[in-house]
Amino acid sequence: MSPISGADFAPFAERMRAAGLAEVVIDNFEHYFRTLASGSTGNIPEASITPVTDTPALADLEQYAAEGARLVNRVAMLKLNGGLGTSMGLDRAKSLLVARDGLSFLDIIARQNQALRARYECDVPLLFLNSFNTDDDTRAALARYPELRGDLSLTVMQNKVPKVLKEGLAPAEWPADPELEWCPPGHGEVYVVLRTSGVLDALLASGRDYLFISNADNLGATFEPAVLGYLARHEVPFLMEVARRTEADKKGGHIARNADGRLLLREVAQTPEADLPAFQNIERHCFFNTNNIWVHLPTLRAVLDEHSNILKLPMIRNAKTVDPKDAASPAVYQLETAMGAAIEVFAGAQALHVTRERFMPVKLCSDLLALRSDIFVMDEDYRLWPNTARRHGAIAIELDSRYYKRADDFEARFPATPSLVDCSRLQVAGDVLFEPDVTLRGAVRVSNDGPGQQCLARGTVLEDCSLSLPLVEE
């Protein structure tokens, strides 16, 4: 993209002020707009970074657990809850979807927090960062948990920013649905929101020095005293939990080091096309960001003060259409930032290697099927753990996107979750209804190549086989 001379920010500022957005938000967006207009793509070339091959591991931090337990009253938790789950056909907060045992993600998170408070006999503030798409539904659901309310609001509102027309870099206009002229600015905005909402100062005033941030769809992201103790003992200002990449993670953002030796986060949208093979090389870039982030709040306040509340995180330029459902609608850029990208802003920031027990996100219905199954068990504190009876590694699930992509279609075909504890791989092709009490073991493929829906009957047990429906009696 060539620089666009004279690109005018005034129409954006006018539109944002009319929407009641704070000047700090406008100033931040102007920075990214100017970056875009300068011709920057936000790309991070492979030649400019060095792979990270080793980090401290959570498994080695047990000696810090007792210290972390003593510091629980200095920590707060924030869940990123702005996503609608559009990849699963949802039009409401994904956290309201049933995760397992009849409980939504939000229900389980709330109960995890209640159990945490009871275990350590202190309040641990729980906050949700919502978008304009998820705030109302989330507030309504949280009304069921009045005991979580404290001096702080349970919800913090993310801002919205204008979409930018690819041609001419003017504000996008879409009279058919004006809300589509706006987009969330990415979860990298969380630091600015903490400042502008007053939550940062309120947390510090209440004695909370640490904030643990994670995605609402990752129920493995629970409080870990050993991490808190490690942070305090070594005065770590910012810590990102990372996990080993597998083939399933090769499109997720990985960590690396820049020329100055600082850690950075590179997303696939920031990778030049020629460097995609290196980006996806899980042996070269072996750690990916789980989006479990620990922040020392006094340091965050000092960094925001130093940068006049504009952290200048690397820009992510997402090319879209103004109406995501209409490929013929005008091409736009959505200017976003990633929360984990702040790792290069904090001197002394670290990455911590964690296992998959702390990373179980749900992005697709196949992930939801695994989460609901007996691959996992939920303890009395509502924490999820791998079932010790399982002999296989991570399960591979492939569901036919024609019938299982949307959550409502998925629910209709899985009214009950089959037993998968002994299943290593599941492939479903075609329209198949799974009745209750189905057991799948080893590598199983179920297909329906005919017209109409076929049923896998109650009580069916399949092991290391490929089954074609309908069954033909001989």
Cα 385 to Cα 237: distance, rounded to the nearest angstrom = 29
In Å, what is the CA distance from 345 to each residue of 39, 193, 237? 23, 17, 10
In Å, what is the CA distance from 437 to each residue of 35, 137, 315, 457? 56, 33, 49, 9
Among the listed residues 18, 449, 456, 66, the one whose alpha carbon sits nearest the alpha carbon of residue 224? 66
- What backbone phi and psi angles, to 5 degrees, belong to 183? -150, 160
In Å, what is the CA distance from 90 to each residue of 132, 156, 407? 15, 22, 7
Among the listed residues 86, 192, 176, 177, the one whose alpha carbon sits nearest the alpha carbon of residue 129? 192
Distance of CA 219 to the CA centre of its chain: 11
Contact partners, residue 198, CB within 8 Å, separation at least 6 = none
Tokens of residue 434, six digits? 């799974």
Three-class DSSP category at 425: strand
Among the listed residues 11, 400, 354, the one whose alpha carbon sits nearest the alpha carbon of residue 170? 11
In Å, what is the CA distance from 65 to each residue of 70, 155, 283, 290? 9, 29, 31, 21
SS (H, E, C) 224-274: CHHHHHHHHHHCCCEEEEEEECCHHHCCCCEEEECCCCCEEEECHHHCCHH
| Residue-wise DSSP of 37-56 | HTT------GGG-EE-----
Q: Are 346 and 324 in contact (CB under 8 A)?
A: no
422-435: string of b/e by CB count within 10 Å (b at 16+)?
Answer: bbbebebbbbbbbe
DSSP state of 419: B
Cα 182 to Cα 185: distance, rounded to the nearest angstrom = 9
Q: Does 160 participate in catalysis according to the annotation?
A: no
Three-class DSSP category at 413: helix
Catalytic pick from 250, 320, 363, 405?
363
- What backbone phi and psi angles, to 5 degrees, belong to 375? -65, -30
Q: Which residues are catalytic?
A: 363
